[in-house]
Structures are given as C-alpha cells and as structure tokens.
Amino acid sequence: MKKDINLAVESAIQAVNFLKQEKSITFIESAALMIANSFKNGNKIVIAGNGGSLCDAMHFAEELTGYFREKRKALPAIALSEPGHMSCVSNDKGFDFVFSRAAEAYLKPDDIFISLTTSGNSKNLLNAINVAQEKKAKTITFLGKTGGFIKGLSDLEIIIEGFKTSDRIQEAHMAMIHIIIEMVEKLLFSPIALLKKLQNKALKLSE
C-alpha cells in the first residue's frame, strides 16, 4: 500500500506543479485582475460546476462572501447550488438547463460567469456560458483533459492537461482558485490599493 500511496502523492505534486507553467501564471493573473475589476465596478461573480466541481464552486464563493486571509468587506459571489432551483429546473426542463436558467436570473452585463469542469463536456455549463454571453457577462472556465467542447468558448480559460482522472484536475483547479482569491484581496485591500482608493476619492472631491 505504501507504494501506491507514494505514487498518489507524486501524482498530486505533479498536479500542483502544473501551476508553475507560464500559461498557468498568466491565467491566474488575468483571472484575478478580471475578478477584482468586476468587484470594483459593483459587479458579481456566479460560479457553477457538477459533482466535485460544484463543491469547488461553493468553496470559491464562500471564501469571497466570507473570509479568506484578510479582514475585509464581503465580496459578491454566488455558487449555483440551491437544491430547490436545481430540482425544479431538472424536473420541468432537464438537468442540461439548471445553470443556464440561473444565469438568466442572476447575470447582468459585466458580471462574471465562472465554469468548473474537468472534462469540458458538461452540457449544462455549455448552455450557461451561452446565456452569460447573451447577457453580456464575462466568462472564465477551468477545464481539464482535452478541454472538451467547451474549449475556446470563454473569455479566459485554463486546461489542466496530462491527467486522466478528475481528482487531480480538481486539485489543480482548487490551488489556482485559492491563489486567485489571495491576489484579488491584494488588489482590492492591500495598503497600496487602499491608498490609491483614498487618492482617487480626494481627487474627485477637489474637482
């Protein structure tokens, strides 16, 4: 068993090491900037995924509405996980529409819709991305494997390649999510960010 455990640990390390690649660093930076700017402009993010990725979506949202590393104001993030809504839409129209119906309800122009899918082949996320684009919201997608049929559809995406199983892909996704949230907090609430905010406020008052 120890041999199997060591192999699993090595695989987990490889998943996290994926974050060192330049494309991963660029994605993290771009996603943090996009999300921070959305919050600055009074917009929100809406996050969706299936199974383990739904749990990651909920984790993503609660770190923003609750607390992460800094004591700061709550940030508007919604994970699409409400069972009444999901069972209603599944029963009346089908599971492929549970996220798109919610996207129709919640999204406004310049909000951000974030999809988490290890396969890239979730029809309910594809439908939601289409609705988000119709609503003129921005889109970010976390993908795995080959990217599936969702590859190339969003404003910003990352594909965790080289892993056959969803667990390793989700581990890389979650590590990225934590770093993105850390960078968002730095962009919005670091002493430098707060100083710039005060300077801008002073400038407006003097005009």
User: Average pLDDT for residues 182-206, to the nearest whole number?
Assistant: 74
Q: Which domain holds residue 27?
A: 2-206
Q: For residue 206, is pLDDT > 60?
A: no
d(CA 193, CA 61): 22
Neighbours of 166 (CB within 10 A): 18
Q: For residue 105, is pLDDT > 60?
A: yes
CATH at residue 189: 3.40.50.10490
pLDDT confidence of 71, banded at 50, 70, 90? confident
Q: Into how many domains does the chain fold?
A: 1
Q: Is there a contact between 160 and 143 (Cβ–Cβ < 8 Å)?
A: yes
pLDDT confidence of 70, banded at 50, 70, 90? confident
User: Average pLDDT for residues 173-188, to the nearest whole number?
Assistant: 96
d(CA 75, CA 183): 14
Q: What is the value of pTM for the model shown?
A: 0.91
How confident is the model at residue 23, as a pLDDT? 96
Q: Is there a contact between 183 and 66 (Cβ–Cβ < 8 Å)?
A: no
How confident is the model at residue 203, as a pLDDT? 61
